[in-house]
A = this chain, B = another copy of it.
Amino acid sequence: GLDMEFTGLHSVFPVNNKPSLFDSPAEWYLKARQSVQRFTISQFGLAIFSHEKPNKYVVHSYNFFIFPSTFGATDPEFTLSASSIQFLSHYGFDYNKFLKDGIPYMNELQEKSLRQYLLAGSWKVCSVLHRDIMKKAIDEVTSWIAGAKEEETMILRDLCGFQMFEVQLVLRRALQNVWTQPLGDNEVMVKKVSPQHRRLLENSPHDPCRKERILTSARGFTNLFQALVKAKKPLVGHNMLMDLLHLHDKFYKPLPESYEEFKRNIHSLFPVLIDTKALTKSVWKDHPFPRVSNLLEVYEVLCSSDLNPTDPMCPVIVLASGCSRYAVKSSPHEAGYDAFLCGSVLLKVAHLLLCKSTGGTAEADPPFSEYLGVLVKCLNQVHFTGGAVSSINFSGVDVPCRRPPLLVVHVQGWRGLSERHIYHELKTLCRFHIQRLSENQFILQSNKFKHIRLALRDYKDHPHLRISLYRRWRHSPHVSCLLRVCSIVALWSLVAFVLGGAP
């Protein structure tokens, strides 16, 4: 199970970047991509479900605060949206843990430039603070080394994070007769050595400043991401499309421009995706559960013995000792808790489906592969909010929805009408998504055939609003503009013909 908290969802920049219900998945992707490039992940929740004992799953759930890696020549920037800050604050998010103690991470492109930076051996200051700390360290060492004997040592204190590496790299490069070694997390020992000794030490495989070791440190959380990719385990999320975009962008590669390429990449990284939102939406149809979609509510419905009578065969889910507080108290929108909920919902729904498919005679303690078997229709189907498709298929082509037709409203004798007025006029009848087509025409979209029928019937004789089915050929402004151009061309041909025949 996996869940993430972000610093923002859909950016208001650039203008008109907000997704609309009319967007196809590819259109939505291009807009969301711009937001993903601006915002970042503040918390990464991972819940690992292990089938340890018969019919029992043990969950290890983790909350990682992560923060873009600051090692190297670039100074990462990211955006916060006020509404996301308020949302997370409401659920008790600790910004100091995120911004002060976040674990670094980088994608493959950033790793490549860090590699080049380390190879080039140049050292670029990108912050005043670092420059001051470096300057102080260099001053201390140069004034000490003049009077020091070989094998004498001194200690630099109060360093933190990547400063530990940077100080050592800079000192070794500047002075051929020193050696450096980290002492704990915040101190570096500097030793005066002979150049021969120095060469020996430099070639030791145990040097903590070897390039590969530095890269492993700088990669930070990305090491865990890569382990996840290698494990090829099913990845479970709830409404996880945005999570997948961030996974790709932050830990793998910057999001490609092509939506299809994004889908292919995610599928090759994570061949088995399960979205519990898409899953429950499709299962709810056949079960008498309340139609909740919020993750915690779904979990509570599935756990409630009234709605979901206890079945002795249902797998028992136990939280490991380090994360038992989740068993006592719900912590919605804490990434580790939501990740735990995702995995639990999946197991419970899979068990329901398995019981149903076997007519209640499921064997005790079925292997997980049997659960995957009954989920087969939902694998790699990720929930999509919008009219064009109901889910995105990561293992193939997206299947378009059978959608109710669009309506068009012609306004007559009611000037200055906006989308908002139309919305208020219609809202007692039904809810439509409304978009202006021209000066006096608006398109209405609804997901319900019933609403379309109601609107057509009730507005048949309205004095100002005439509602009819939208026909692309007749109503699209592009098409009618084309028709007008055609007729103008035809007119001119006629004029030319007449004039041509005149003399």
Contact = CB atoms under 8 A, between A and B. Distances in A.
A433 B127 CA distance: 18
A438 interface: no
A122 interface: yes
Given A94-B96, A96-B94, A11 B87 contact: no
Contact of A95 (B11, B82, B100, B130): B100
A260 interface: no
A100 B89 CA distance: 6
A99 interface: yes
Contact of A90 (B78, B96, B129): B129
B83 A80 contact: no
A161 B89 CA distance: 12
Nearest to A129: B87
A84 B75 CA distance: 9
B86 A129 contact: yes
Contacts of A8: 77
A12 B74 contact: yes
A377 interface: no
A83 B128 CA distance: 8
Interface in A1-49: 8, 11-13, 38
A194 interface: no
Nearest to A423: B122
A81 interface: yes
Interface string A40-82: 0000000000000000000000000001101000111111111
A420 interface: yes
B13 A77 contact: yes
Nearest to A76: B82
B82 A70 contact: yes
B81 A99 contact: no
Contacts of A81: 75-77
A122 B126 CA distance: 47
A174 interface: no
Contact of A75 (B12, B68, B96): B12
B83 A127 contact: yes
A469 interface: no
Contact of A129 (B83, B127, B420): B83
Contacts of A99: 80, 85, 89, 95
Given A89-B99, A95-B96, A127-B87, A77 B82 contact: yes
A299 to B, nearest CB: 17
B127 A86 contact: yes
A419 to B, nearest CB: 11
Contacts of A82: 67-68, 70, 75-77
A254 B450 CA distance: 48
B95 A128 contact: no
Given A77-B79, A80-B80, A128 B96 contact: no
Contacts of A38: 77, 79
Closest 5 CB pairs of A and B: A83-B127, A95-B95, A87-B129, A76-B82, A75-B83
29 contacts: A8-B77, A11-B77, A12-B77, A13-B77, A38-B79, A67-B82, A70-B82, A70-B86, A75-B82, A75-B83, A77-B80, A77-B82, A78-B79, A79-B79, A79-B80, A80-B99, A83-B130, A84-B127, A85-B99, A87-B127, A87-B128, A87-B129, A89-B100, A95-B95, A95-B96, A95-B98, A95-B99, A95-B100, A96-B96
